[in-house]
Structure 1
Amino acid sequence: MGYWMHSYKIKGKNFWDIPIHGNMSWGWRKLLSVRALVRPFIWYAIRDGKLANAWNDNWCESSPLRQFITPRRIHNAGFNMQTTVSGLVDGQNGWRWPVAWHDLYPVLNDLDLPILVPDSSDWLIWKDRNGTPMSFSSGEVWDNIRSRADVVHWVDFVWFSQCIPRHSFHMWLVIKNKLKTQDRMSIWDAGSETNLNLMCCPLCRYDKDSRDHLFFRCSFSSHVWNMVKDLAYMANVDSSWSSVMAWSQMHASSKSAEAIVGKLVVAASPYFIWQERNSRLFTPNNRTAPMIANIVLQTVSVTTRI
């Protein structure tokens, strides 16, 4: 990565200012589009000061200096936009910028004068979110630029080493309430509000289906749940979604056989109930609650080899 960025400076271009245009390849456009994300983490370790751009690159605590020093003041002080860090340092005597800048930009008063090392080129380093220099790797980059949210208690309840990926993904949608249930569709599609108001749960033919209705207040899904939960060591969990999530909070990180079987059953039950719900909406095929419960138990049995 260091050579890649240096090569653009050697060609007289600044990596941070390259415009994105239609003639570029898809890969280059994607790389250039994330500049704002990665820029705070890419720093120069100053040696001879001849590679780090004084205004645009990160090389001191107040970098980049261009965020508060305007191009007009830069040029009025006798510098240009290509000035490197070495151009700001007058040997070991101090900074070359105007004395007036110390009053205009007080943060400059706290900058330590870099000790330039002749015949030793500046080099790029990666600093993490805490400002600690790290070895560059794709994993380190992703960990720093990825979107972050509050840690949820159910992460180990959904994703664990024995999980069935398609069930876990579906479970994630259920927990986030992102399934296209009738209660949500009635809000999205205002043009067919009357027809949607007439819709009812295709499993029990009573009430509009929703996340909490399907898992597991619906008489059909409640029948399925009551047939499988005892075998999953969850006899004390009732047919409400809040009760299921309360159980998950207590057992999410547990690695016991009982907890793993329970997590597999909880993920498989909504998956196959939702599958049956969609089947009844779009096909004439109907399966009974005992059939769905048997599929859940067979799937978990094969996965755990019990």
Structure 2
Amino acid sequence: MQTTVFDLVDDQNMWRWSSAWFDLYPVVINLPPSTLDQNRGENLVWKDSQSNNTHFSSGWVWNNIRRCDQEVPWVDLVWFAQCIPRHSFHLWLVIKNKLKTQDRMGIWDMGSATNLNLMCCPLCRYNKDSRDHLIFECPFAMQVWNKVKDIAYMDSVDASWASIMAWFEQRASSKSSKTIVSKLVVAAAAYFVWQERNNRLFSQNHQPSSKIADIVLQTVRFKLMTFRARRRSKNPFQLERWKMQMKTMDIDTG
């Protein structure tokens, strides 16, 4: 890794690759000879897909070689500066409908030893679970949602996933304090309902919906405590409902 370009060029400006390089990268034999300027030092340059020479950085290379699709409308709902990363990753799976729910597993070939028709939602024991069922149409999940949605400023939003996504369509990109809290609560509620679902499926550790709702609110409360506050705000964020010591605060959205 310490070898420079100068070390690889002989007096006739021809490449002198080691035999190991020829074995690993036979394409180097087709590289044209290099002309060195003895008065200039070496620097690392990245040539992009349009053959433009740019300063090398790992971020630039990643953005240049990765597949770039059109930005999705829900990106700000999942990824934002104040998010809880594990909750955001889980919410991304929820939006993509990639959770291993029973309705999706039912289309897999599991073999005759597994009767997927007998599976039912571990939370309500009724029908198979699915993304829309767990978030939050299941009676258990709906109880969690109904307890946390008011404090998330989403009291008018029902327990259907379609309604939640429709509510965020015009709000997800907002950096207001209330919108940030709403996004944190939705992601946390989805995360802990899924966690309780797995606990009931794979262990005997069952918790009531009121306890799951309390965990959601406590997790978001702890996150709010880490935020910086701007005290002289024209639109202070009321925190009495979060049982925090400061009566008013406006989240510094960075």
TM-score tier by shorter-chain length is 0.7 to 0.9
Conserved in 2, the CA contact under 8 Å of 1:186 and 1:193?
A: no
2:106 is paired with a residue whose SS is helix
1:243 to 158, 163, 166: 163
Question: Bigger CA drift: 274-283 or 152-161?
Answer: 152-161
Q: Is the 8 A contact 1:203 1:218 kept in 2?
A: yes
Match of 1:292? Answer: 212
- Once the two structures are superposed, residues 162-198 of structure 1 have per-residue CA deviations (whole angstroms, 9 ceiling, x without a partner) of 1111111111111121211111222223304861111
TM-score (norm 1): 0.63
Separation in structure 2 between the aligned mates of residue 202 and residue 275 of structure 1, nearest angstrom: 11
Q: Could you tell me how far apart the structure 1 residues matched to 2:9 and 2:147 are?
A: 68
Letter of the aligned partner of 2:181 in structure 1?
A: V
Tell me the residue number matched to 1:19.
23
Q: 1:274 aligns with which of 194, 198, 218?
A: 194
Give 1 or 2: higher helix fraction. Answer: 1
The residue number in structure 1 matching 2:184 is 264
Match of 1:199, as an amino acid? Answer: M
CA distance in 2 between counterparts of 1:224 and 1:118 reads: 69
Judge conservation of contact 2:9–2:34 (CA < 8 Å) in 1. Answer: no
CA shift in 2, pair 1:182/1:118, >3 Å: closer
Give 2:98's aligned amino acid.
Answer: K
* 1:84–1:5 CA distance, 2 compared to 1 (3 A): closer
Q: What residue is the counterpart of 1:173 in the other structure?
A: 93
Whole-Å Cα distance in 1 between the matches of residues 222 and 78 of structure 2? Answer: 19
Q: CA deviation at 1:56?
A: 4.0
Gaps of 5+ in 1: 21-31, 37-52, 58-82, 87-116
CA 1:136–1:171 in structure 2 vs 1: closer, same or farther (change >3 Å)?
A: same
Query: In the alignment, which of 154, 158, 174 is matched to residue 78 of structure 2?
Result: 158
Which residue of the partner structure matches residue 153 of structure 2?
A: 233
1:158 Cα offset (Å): 0.9
Please, what TM-score do these two structures have when normalized by structure 2? Answer: 0.74
Q: Which runs of 5+ in 2 are unaligned?
A: 226-241, 243-254
Q: In structure 1, how many angstroms separate the alpha carbons of the residues matched to 2:209 and 2:141?
A: 7
Is contact 1:217–1:239 with CA below 8 Å preserved after alignment? yes
Question: How much does 1:132 deviate?
Answer: 3.6
TM-aligned CA distance change 1:204 to 1:140, over 3 Å: same
Using the alignment, how far apart are the partners of 2:180 and 2:162 within structure 1?
19
* Structure of larger gyration radius: 1
Q: Does the CA contact (< 8 Å) of 1:216 and 1:239 recur in 2?
A: yes
RMSD: 3.2
Aligned position for 1:207: 127
Secondary structure of the equivalent of 2:46?
strand
